[in-house]
């Protein structure tokens, strides 16, 4: 065997491990009808033990219904749901001893923070001494050690969400369900809590299924992301793969910004574009430079197009340009570097596209 063969077999080994990892949660052709509306339609999905899986989709795409089905709050109209290999489709929530915790509940307003965390332990019949120890440890873990005696109304929104998360974690169940866990928070706090959830996941290793409509949250937290649309799975992939290689127009536009290169000016050869697809490029993949006397000549790797700047928006470390090319407007994003030339409305510019950055997505 050559030395190089060793390293090339590594990714394969990883793929194999992923396939043989036990599935902790499995949806098998699950449909949930509400009258004529299929909230979830023929959903098949496996979640591995210890995985952080995010269900991402617009409002009404069936995300919460998927979690409710798993938690047993609603039953499927057809199909099967398995937890650790056992069918639970006809088992009501309170009989599902697989230990699912649903975070979306509000805190009990009449109980202190300490009592809120103690409640699930008390329900399980844990003795007072051990309850106190566990609650104290968890409060410390979520940086709320000094807040045990406060009532929920005496906490900020972010603190309340941390308590809710702590209460979900303390129950010590193998599966954690989070429904828009950071929905109510402002940007800074949300970023901070994302870091917190990630490190809690690393520490506790629970299989976590998180629902969100926030693409940034999904990209930051997840091992894999499921994009849902109208009750069905549009694509499942690791965050980077999903962003870099979206398979459909819907995914390309829902996750990040996408430029669809339908105008003839983009010079996409018709035979390069598989049937039923359209070419797409991400805004940060387009290079914008001054157009001096004439356009550079295209090569096998690159193509050059001229355009007219419509607008420039300065957004902290990034500049966002809108550039008119033929009848379309292309979005270009670039990092602001020292001494770099800026363009303003009306400027004629040269756009450089690497052909390998162009993706063909189902229309």
Question: Rounded to an integer, what distance in angstroms lies between the CA atom of residue 350 and that of residue 297?
Answer: 11
Q: Which is nearer to ligand ADP, 39 or 135 (CB)?
A: 39
Q: Is 64 in the site for ligand ADP (CB under 6 A)?
A: yes
Q: Is 36 in the site for ligand ADP (CB under 6 A)?
A: no
Q: Is 63 in the site for ligand ADP (CB under 6 A)?
A: yes
Q: Is 62 in the site for ligand ADP (CB under 6 A)?
A: yes
Q: How far is the CB of 63 from Mg ion (least distance, A)?
A: 5
Q: Is 212 in the site for Mg ion (CB under 5 A)?
A: no
Q: Which is nearer to Mg ion, 64 or 194 (CB)?
A: 64
Binding range to Mg ion, per CB under 5 A, among 17-25, 62-70, 149-157, 294-302: 62-70
Q: Is 64 in the site for Mg ion (CB under 5 A)?
A: yes
Q: Which is nearer to Mg ion, 55 or 261 (CB)?
A: 55
Q: Is 24 in the site for Mg ion (CB under 5 A)?
A: no
Question: Rounded to an integer, what distance in angstroms lies between the CA atom of residue 291 and that of residue 157?
Answer: 50
Q: How far is the CB of 25 from ligand ADP (least distance, A)?
A: 17
Q: Is 194 in the site for Mg ion (CB under 5 A)?
A: no
Binding range to Mg ion, per CB under 5 A, among 59-67, 84-92, 137-145, 245-253: 59-67
Q: Is 181 in the site for ligand ADP (CB under 6 A)?
A: no
Q: Which is nearer to ligand ADP, 250 or 321 (CB)?
A: 250
Q: Rule CB under 5 A: which residues touch Mg ion?
A: 64
**What residues line the site for ligand ADP (CB under 6 A)?**
34, 37, 39, 57, 59-65
């Amino acid at each position: 065997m050559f030395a190089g063969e060793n390293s090339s077999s590594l990714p394969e080994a990883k793929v194999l491990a992923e396939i043989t990892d036990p599935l902790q949660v499995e949806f098998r052709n699950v449909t949930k009808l509400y009258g004529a509306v299929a909230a979830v339609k023929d959903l098949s999905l496996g979640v591995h033990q210890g995985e952080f899986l995010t269900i991402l989709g617009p409002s009404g795409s069936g995300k919460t219904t998927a979690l409710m089905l798993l938690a047993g709050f609603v039953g499927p109209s057809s199909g099967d749901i398995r937890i650790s290999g056992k069918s639970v489709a006809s088992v009501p929530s309170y009989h599902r001893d697989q230990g699912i915790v649903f975070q979306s509940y509000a805190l009990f307003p009449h109980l202190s923070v300490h009592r809120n965390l103690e409640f699930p332990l008390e329900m399980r019949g844990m003795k007072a001494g051990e309850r106190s120890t566990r609650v104290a440890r968890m409060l410390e873990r979520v940086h709320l050690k000094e807040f045990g005696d406060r009532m929920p109304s005496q906490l900020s929104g972010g603190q309340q969400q941390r308590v809710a998360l702590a209460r979900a974690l303390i129950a010590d169940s193998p599966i954690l369900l989070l429904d828009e866990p950071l929905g109510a928070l402002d940007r800074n706090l949300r970023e901070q809590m994302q870091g917190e959830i990630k490190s809690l996941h690393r520490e506790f290793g629970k299989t976590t299924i998180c629902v969100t409509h926030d693409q940034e949250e999904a990209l930051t937290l997840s091992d894999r992301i499921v994009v849902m649309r109208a009750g069905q799975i549009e694509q499942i992939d690791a965050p980077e793969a999903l962003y870099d290689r979206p398979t459909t127009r819907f995914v390309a536009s829902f996750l990040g910004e996408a430029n669809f290169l339908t105008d003839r000016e983009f010079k996409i050869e018709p035979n390069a574009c598989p049937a039923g697809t359209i070419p797409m490029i991400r805004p940060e993949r387009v290079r914008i430079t001054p157009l001096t006397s004439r356009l550079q000549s295209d090569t096998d790797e690159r193509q050059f197009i001229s355009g007219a700047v419509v607008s420039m928006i300065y957004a902290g470390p990034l500049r966002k340009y809108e550039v008119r090319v033929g009848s379309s407007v292309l979005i270009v994003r670039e990092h602001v570097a020292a001494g770099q030339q800026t363009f303003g409305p009306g400027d004629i510019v040269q756009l450089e596209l690497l052909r390998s950055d162009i993706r063909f997505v189902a229309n």
